[in-house]
């Protein structure tokens, strides 16, 4: 019978401090086994967390959470932190009712901020430390655990500049350096960190000490022993740390991030320093899991459910929206030498890897720097290219000012492709791409397309690339592709997906993007109860096309079904367009609730927000009945069993 398991005994960070070195080593093994077993079953961020096991244990042994405040950047490297703060049931990881895939203030007092958008932890830590300082608190620390990829974001450097301004404010910055963000970390900072990783001057100094001092007998051996014990200090003295020293930040490292005692010593030095300190920790993403290590860890950064032995996906393979975009970009690239692709540290997830392989000289990964990427794209456009910047929809929020003032103001022909638009679900509030259609409505001249299927995605991408005097946006959801939904007619720029049966139809149902299936189902349910519907897809939802206004004139009620926020979205734009044309129609909007949803599946979130065929039909039956009672042609309101069928 083997030794008792250690992990079940750990319910709070204080439990770590009484463990022996042997128990801590065994705990690290158990944590990795737990992560591989559970995350391969549920999906989640596996590679980053396998790499921070020893680092997280050291952090919680040196600092006193929650009194000391630990902020993870990005928060997907917090699974080990969750395990040692009493959250070991990962059976529903990233699912409704289970543990979030990011820190969550609702889950634990040890979680400071949700922090799933990168490059913000240093600002959080600076603010927390300033508050401690202003209140005369001297025995609490603010610690930012920053993945090296997050340091490619400009906000991190704004924070570093402020952190360095006060030499007496105790902020500890732990750089988790694995050479990658999602893909390999790029840029000048990455080169600098690589230099720190590979500098051997301190090793040569130790070699000199070994060869010269040992020859001097017992005293020489004593001196060499002292020199070796002071290796960390020597390394700190001779390492190329000018980048951080020039800012006024004490630099400690590099430290082997899988040597827990060494990490603890470095963190303890930083804790006792009393001012801003950067601890440079080198880790291996995917550590301890052969498949992840052999794969170079990119494919195991974030995974779906997989076989833990073979790595094979347990989900049936199906074409995705992203794969359609990826293929079309390659085709466009062959025909248009002016098309240039930009990504923000997400080359593979947003589908630009194939384009990069076909046209390596026409792609730029700007790191986690969406603001820079957007303005650089404007510069490319003004110099004769047509850039395509592909990002997750939630991350375009960070570059809004650049889209408005650099791209739109200068009428630059830049196409933004927004993957995972609308409800995404599993990654929680920060990752739902539900804000773009509301935020972008205020941008003058911008045109926004919402494809309903693969065929319209291909067509609308090409239409966007033909616009060279204004920004264009093409958005599509996360997940498997839906079957193509053919149009039965075209009125102006608007596709008619379902024609009415009578001359005076009741409802014009405007379907936005991937909501075509929901809208058509709602129309069929209404038709069964005597409500005549026309279903249309405007294809381009900004600006509102004149053809949509003309169609509204021929219907009594207009409904808009969109997978964006209800406030300021497409329904609001349609309502305004009708008012300006003096078309007085009731406009019923269906969209996502204007809140930060908990993590749950996309389908569960849509159902919760009333974005199902049945829910839309029920609500529209009530609206049409009310409008009929006000003097238009009456329609019977369903009740009882009929209402249930709706």
DSSP string, 429-483: GGG-B-SHHHHGGGSTT-EEE--SSHHHHHHHHHHHHT--SS-EEEE--SSBPPP
**Predicted pLDDT of residue 296:** 53
Same domain (yes/no): 34, 177: yes
| Long-range CB contacts for residues 374-378, cutoff 8 Å, separation at least 24 | 374/399, 374/402, 374/403, 374/406, 374/407, 374/414, 374/416, 375/402, 375/406, 375/407, 376/342, 377/342, 377/407, 377/412, 377/414, 378/402, 378/406, 378/407, 378/410, 378/412, 378/414
Residue 362 falls within a domain, yes or no? yes
Q: What is the CATH number of the domain that holds 545?
A: 3.40.50.920
125 assigned binding-site residue: no
Nearest to 151 by CA among 266, 73, 223: 73
Residue 191 in tokens: 């080169």
**150 in a known ligand binding site:** yes
Strand partners, 251: 278
Task: Give the residue from 609, 520, 605, 538 showing the smallest Cα distance to 574.
Answer: 538
Residue 463 lies in a domain: yes
Neighbours of 7 (CB within 10 A): 16
How, if at all, do strands 142-147 and 533-537 pair?
Answer: unpaired
Q: What is the pLDDT of residue 428?
A: 64
pLDDT at 594: 81
- Under a CB-based contact definition with an 8 Å cutoff, are residues 257 and 52 in contact? yes
Instruction: Flag whether 289 is marked binding.
Output: yes
Q: Tell me the CA distances in angstroms from 22 to 25, 267, 289, one per residue in order.
A: 5, 20, 21
Q: Is residue 160 part of a domain?
A: yes
Co-location of 504 and 455 in the same domain: no
Is the Cα dihedral 419, 486, 328, 336 positive or negative?
negative
**Residue at which a domain ends, from 429, 445, 475:** 475
**One domain, residues 164 and 29:** yes
Residue with tokens 């350096």: 177
Residue 535, in any domain of the structure: yes
> Was 217 annotated as part of a binding site?
no
The catalytic residue positions are 285, 370, 398
User: Quick one: 131 and 261 in the same domain?
Assistant: yes
Q: What span, in angstroms and rounded, lies between the C-alpha atoms of 90 and 106?
A: 16
CATH of residue 149's domain is: 3.40.50.970
Count of domains in the chain? Answer: 3
158 marked as binding residue: no
- Residue 564, H or E segment: strand 557-565
pLDDT of residue 640: 44
Q: Tell me, what's the pLDDT at 637?
A: 40
Give the phi and the psi of residue 320 in degrees, each rounded to 5. -115, 165
Cα→Cα distances 111→87, 354, 454, Å: 12, 38, 40
195 and 48 fall within a common domain: yes
Strand-by-strand arrangement of the 472-475 sheet:
363-365, 339-343, 386-392, 415-419, 472-475, 447-449, 540-542
Contact 264, 258 (CB under 8 A): no
Considering the domain boundaries, does residue 301 fall inside one?
no
- Classify residue 638 by its DSSP letter: P
- Is residue 263 in some structural domain? yes
Element (H, E) at 78: none
CA gap 154, 162 in Å, rounded: 13
Q: Is residue 308 part of a domain?
A: no
Same-domain check for residues 282 and 361: no
Last residue of a domain, one of 447, 475, 503: 475
Task: Tell me the residue ranges of DSSP E strands in 135-187.
Answer: 142-147, 171-177
Contact 417, 389 (CB under 8 A): yes
Q: Does residue 299 lie within any of the structural domains?
A: no
My answer on whether 278 and 339 are in the same domain is no
* Structural domain harbouring 581: 489-645
Query: What is the C-alpha separation between 121 and 482, in angstroms, rounded?
Result: 38
Same domain? For 169 and 192 the reply is yes
Question: Which residues are paired to 589 by β-bridges?
Answer: 560
CB 520 within 8 A of CB 561: no
Return d(Cα 179, Cα 183) in angstroms, integer: 9
Check if the beta carbon of residue 531 is closer than 8 Å to that of residue 621.
yes
Report, as ranges of residue numbers, the positions in the chain whose pLDDT lies below 70: 1-2, 148, 179-247, 295-298, 425, 428-430, 600, 629-646
345 and 281, same structural domain?
no
Burial of 156 (0-12, 13-18, 19+ CB in 10 A): buried
Pairing mode, strands 363-365 and 339-343? parallel
Closest CA to 451 of 323, 566, 387, 540: 540
What the block records as the tokens of 471 is 């920004």
The CA distance from 32 to 86, in Å, is 16
Enclosing H/E stretch for 393: helix 393-396
Name the domain boundary from 449, 475, 501: 475
Residues 244 and 281 in one domain: yes
Parallel, antiparallel, or unpaired for β 142-147 and 69-73?
A: parallel
Q: What is the pLDDT of residue 342?
A: 97
Is residue 338 located within the same domain as residue 452?
yes
Q: Are residues 25 and 174 in the same domain?
A: yes
Q: How many CB atoms lie within 10 A of CB 191?
A: 10
Query: What does the pLDDT read at residue 246?
Result: 65
């Amino acid at each position: 019978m083997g030794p008792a398991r250690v992990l079940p005994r750990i319910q709070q960070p204080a439990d770590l401090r009484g463990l022996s070195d042997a128990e801590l080593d065994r705990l690290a093994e158990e944590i990795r086994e737990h992560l591989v077993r559970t995350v391969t079953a549920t999906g989640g961020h596996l590679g980053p967390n396998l790499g921070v096991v020893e680092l997280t244990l050291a952090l919680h042994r040196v600092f006193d959470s929650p009194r000391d405040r630990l902020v993870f950047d990005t928060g997907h490297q917090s699974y080990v932190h969750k395990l040692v703060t009493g959250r070991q049931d990962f059976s529903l990881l990233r699912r409704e009712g289970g543990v979030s895939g990011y820190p969550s203030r609702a889950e634990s007092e040890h979680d400071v901020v949700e922090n799933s958008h990168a490059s913000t932890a240093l600002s959080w830590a600076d603010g927390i430390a300033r508050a401690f300082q202003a209140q005369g608190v001297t025995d609490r620390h603010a610690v930012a655990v920053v993945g090296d990829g997050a340091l490619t974001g400009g906000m991190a450097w704004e924070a570093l500049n402020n952190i360095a301004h006060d030499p007496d404010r105790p902020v500890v910055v732990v750089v988790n350096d694995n050479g990658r963000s999602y893909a390999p970390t790029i840029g000048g900072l990455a080169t600098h960190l690589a230099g720190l990783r590979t500098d051997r001057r301190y090793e040569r100094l130790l070699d000199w000490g070994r060869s010269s001092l040992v020859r001097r007998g017992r005293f020489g051996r004593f001196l060499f022993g002292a020199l070796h014990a002071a290796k960390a200090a020597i390394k700190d003295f001779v390492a190329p740390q000018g980048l951080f020293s020039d800012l006024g930040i004490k630099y400690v490292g590099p430290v082997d991030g899988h040597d827990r005692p060494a990490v603890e010593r470095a963190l303890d030095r930083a804790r006792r320093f009393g001012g801003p300190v950067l601890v440079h920790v080198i880790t291996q993403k995917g550590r301890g899991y052969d498949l992840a290590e052999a794969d170079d860890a990119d494919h195991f950064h974030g995974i779906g459910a997989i076989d833990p032995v073979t790595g094979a996906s347990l989900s049936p393979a199906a074409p995705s929206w992203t794969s359609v975009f990826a293929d079309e970009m390659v085709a466009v690239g062959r025909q248009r030498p002016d098309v240039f692709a930009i990504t923000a540290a997400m080359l593979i997830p947003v589908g630009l890897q194939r384009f990069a392989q076909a046209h390596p000289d026409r792609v730029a990964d700007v790191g986690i720097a969406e603001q820079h990427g957007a303005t650089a794209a404007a510069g490319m456009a003004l110099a004769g290219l047509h850039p395509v910047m592909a990002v997750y929809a939630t991350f375009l929020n960070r570059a809004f000012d650049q889209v408005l003032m650099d791209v739109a103001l200068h009428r630059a022909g830049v196409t933004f492709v927004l993957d995972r638009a609308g409800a995404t679900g599993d990654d929680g509030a920060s990752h739902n791409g539900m804000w773009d259609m509301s935020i972008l409505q205020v941008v003058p001249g911008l045109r926004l397309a919402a494809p309903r299927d693969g065929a319209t995605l291909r067509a609308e991408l090409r239409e966007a690339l033909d616009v060279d005097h204004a920004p264009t946006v093409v958005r599509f959801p996360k997940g498997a592709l839906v079957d193509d939904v053919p149009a039965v007619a075209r009125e102006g720029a608007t596709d008619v997906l379902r024609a009415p049966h009578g001359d005076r139809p009741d409802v014009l149902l405007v379907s936005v993007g991937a909501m075509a299936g929901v809208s058509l189902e709602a129309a069929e349910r209404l038709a069964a109860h005597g409500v005549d519907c026309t279903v249309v897809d405007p294809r381009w939802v900004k600006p509102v096309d004149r053809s949509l206004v003309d169609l509204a004139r021929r219907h009594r009620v207009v409904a808009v079904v969109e997978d964006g926020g209800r406030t300021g979205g497409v329904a609001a734009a349609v309502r305004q367009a009708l008012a300006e044309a003096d078309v007085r129609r009731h406009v019923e909007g269906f969209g996502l609730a204007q809140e930060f949803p908990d993590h749950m599946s996309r389908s569960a979130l849509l159902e919760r927000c009333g974005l199902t065929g049945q829910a839309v039909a029920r609500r529209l039956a009530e609206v049409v009945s009310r409008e009929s009672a006000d003097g238009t042609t009456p329609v019977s309101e369903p009740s009882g069993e009929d209402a249930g069928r709706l």
